[in-house]
Amino acid sequence: MTIPFHIVIPARYASTRLPAKPLRDIAGKAMIQRVYEQALQAGGQTVTVATDDTRIEEVVRQFGGDVLMTAADHPSGTDRLEEVSRLKGFADDDLIVNVQGDEPLIPPGVIRQVAVNLSRQPTAAVATLCEPIEHPEDFDNPNIVKVVADLDGLALYFSRAPIPWPRDHRLRAAPGLPAGFAPMRHLGIYAYRVSALRRFVAWPVAPLEALESLEQLRFLSHGDRIHVESACASVPGGVDTEADLERVIALLHRAS
């Protein structure tokens, strides 16, 4: 069954840890081109780079990609997606997948998975993915976002704190994670119904969203449901630092 959906790749030039990140060279291609090529393989109706920088626009046009110039003052990538939905004339029930512009190795199957999941969840406004946390240091790391879902796969909460909390194990000061305990790490890929994007930009920042610095909590705070499922393939980390960039280049060289 064919699932119609659109892919948008927000890409900003500024980055405090890795300047000009979308244009950094990865084995002969700009990072944004690597992301775009992965997205093309996912089977969406359209793939669009959304940027506020003419240097990124020029590079995308050079490799033949579709690019839209968007406002420079968006507070989040979600706001940028909503502008794309308006510029493209998408309908309220259209599906948009947000692919981060710093994930040049993202598997196309994962992009498609999150779109298919949302199409099959009529009660959900958003869909996203997760993967198991295996190491206790990751469970305790506030930079790794955790998610807890209900029995239907709908998110109950996202947090930078270690959730769910294994009370008895921690009270005993036992090492590692409890046997059979499977905390989940949230992966930053989303599929949205366009109607949800339009609600999102109309709402003020929610108190929980501000507290945790997690914009997905705005949806939960207003009663919109978020579907969560384990990713169908391993998702290599994104590129935030020079070390990340070198890791991705090494992976590509090994695969070639």
Rg, Å, the chain Cα set = 18
CB proximity list for 183: less than 8 A, separation 6 or greater: 132, 133, 139, 146, 162, 163, 164, 177
Summarised one tens digit per residue, pLDDT across range 92-135 is: 999 999 999 999 999 999 999 999 999 999 999 999 999 999 99
Cα→Cα distances 144→5, 136, 198, 251, Å: 28, 11, 28, 22
Q: Return the pLDDT at 171.
A: 87
CATH number of the structural domain spanning residue 180: 3.90.550.10
Burial class (CB in 10 A: 0-12, 13-18, 19+), 186: buried
Does the residue 210 lie in any domain? yes
Report the distance separating Cα 6 and Cα 95, nearest Å.
Answer: 6
Q: Return the pLDDT at 164.
A: 96
Is the N-terminal amide bond of 104 cis, ω within 30° of 0?
Answer: no
Q: Are 186 and 130 in contact (CB under 8 A)?
A: yes
Burial class (CB in 10 A: 0-12, 13-18, 19+), 40: middle
Does the residue 88 lie in any domain? yes
Q: Is the pLDDT of residue 1 over 80?
A: no
Does the residue 112 lie in any domain? yes
Q: How many domains does the chain have?
A: 1
Q: Is the pLDDT of residue 235 over 60?
A: yes
- Write the single-letter amino acid at 20: A
Summarised one tens digit per residue, pLDDT across range 168-207 is: 998 888 888 999 999 999 999 999 999 999 999 999 999 9
DSSP assignment of 208-220, as one string? HHHHHT-THHHHH
> 64: phi > 0 → left, psi -120 to 50 → alpha, else beta; which?
left
Alpha helices in the chain (DSSP H): 31-40, 54-62, 77-87, 108-119, 136-139, 167-171, 194-202, 207-212, 216-221, 242-255
Q: Residue 247: which domain range? A: 6-255
Q: How many CA atoms lie within 13 A of 140 on its CB side?
A: 8
Q: Are 191 and 95 in contact (CB under 8 A)?
A: yes
pTM of the model: 0.93
Q: Return the pLDDT at 39.
A: 97
Q: Are 220 and 108 in contact (CB under 8 A)?
A: no
Record the tokens describing residue 82, joined without a space. Answer: 């909503």
Does the residue 1 lie in any domain? no
Higher-pLDDT residue of 17, 191: 191
Summarised one tens digit per residue, pLDDT across range 205-221 is: 999 999 999 999 999 99
Summarised one tens digit per residue, pLDDT across range 22-80 is: 999 998 999 999 999 999 999 999 999 999 999 999 999 999 999 999 998 888 889 99
